[in-house]
Amino acid sequence: MSSSRELLIDAATGRRRPLLNQEPEFLSDADAWPSTSVEQHRLGEVEIAPGSPVNHLFAVHLEGVNELEVADDGGPFRLHRIGPGQVSLFPAGTIFASRTRNAGRFYTVSVTPQFFLNSTPSSDHAGLVEAIPQRGIHDAVVKALCDRIRDEVSAGHPNGRVYVETLAQALCAHVGRHYSRVATSPTASSGALAPHQLRKALEFIRSHLAEDLPLSNIARAAGLSPFHFARRFKLATGLAPHQFLIRQRVERARHLLGQSDIALADIAVQCGFCDQSHLTNHFRRLVGMTPRRYRHQIDA
């Protein structure tokens, strides 16, 4: 099983880090569910430094009353008393910090931003659908769908990817109707990057694809701190910076596959992937076939 921990983009450094340092009680298989993930934890005192979730993150409380303090977008900490069955939503790209003396037992369900956009009722509109942060809501639909997704993990993924994606689509559609807004025509005044900032960021990404490229470096090229860059980039492009970066690397790999006889391992390095396996995983996900098969089709 290939496991993948829930990640945040650190607001201070721009680098990705685990949501929680402690090992979970269980978590989902990243290979079985590429768009949806689950972690379950039992924790005491927890403090999460400011960061931005990579995915849209639902936290479902299971036991006791959790006195959770949350600071959103650099604001003051606010106390939320969260009981069993209540759900909190931390959308991708939003910045928060939190602390609690007794987190108790809880689990998280997350979906990738692209999956959310493809599953929400307004995803085909010109505007970008934005989930709105929620703290300790009572919503039987959200709770039931999250529970079923979690049950799949504890049972060993018996019903497969299509079943889970159907549940996750229903979850996204519900959130899209009840806990989202549509931001039309992103502009600098609406919080998106200004055209010159976006141009500098894109030029920097494309000219440094082969390198280890932390968010802080891209943000610096746009003249912003990492704290604000991720959200503004997503508003301007519809993709989180790391998603855009992966797509650009895959596109460069496609170009190299069609224009040269370079070995796949060397293409992976030239495009900024860790190794050939890393390239293959992302290439298959975005293109629908492996790099080797893609090359064979071009040569045929």
Q: Supply the pLDDT for residue 185.
A: 45
Of the listed ranges 83-92, 199-208, 233-242, the one predicted with least confidence: 233-242
pTM: 0.64
Specify the higher pLDDT residue, 71 or 123. Answer: 71
Asked if the model's pLDDT at residue 88 lies above 90, the reply is yes
Residue 286, Cβ density class (10 Å: 0-12 exposed, 13-18 middle, ≥19 buried): middle
Please state the rounded mean pLDDT for residues 59-74: 91
| CB distance 133 to 91 below 8 Å | yes
Q: What six digits make up the tokens of 68? A: 């959770």
| CB distance 179 to 89 below 8 Å | yes
CATH class held by domain 188-299: mainly alpha
Q: CATH classification of 7-183 is 3.60.21.70, yes or no? A: no
Q: CB neighbours (10 Å) of residue 262? A: 14
Please state the rounded mean pLDDT for residues 210-230: 86
pLDDT tens digits for 272-289? 998 899 999 888 888 888
DSSP secondary structure letter of residue 70 = E
**Where are the chain's structural domains?**
7-183, 188-299
Please state the rounded mean pLDDT for residues 19-23: 91
pLDDT tens digits for 140-187? 999 999 999 999 998 888 888 889 999 999 999 999 999 988 654 444
Q: What six digits make up the tokens of 167? A: 């549940």
Specify the higher pLDDT residue, 289 or 37. Answer: 37
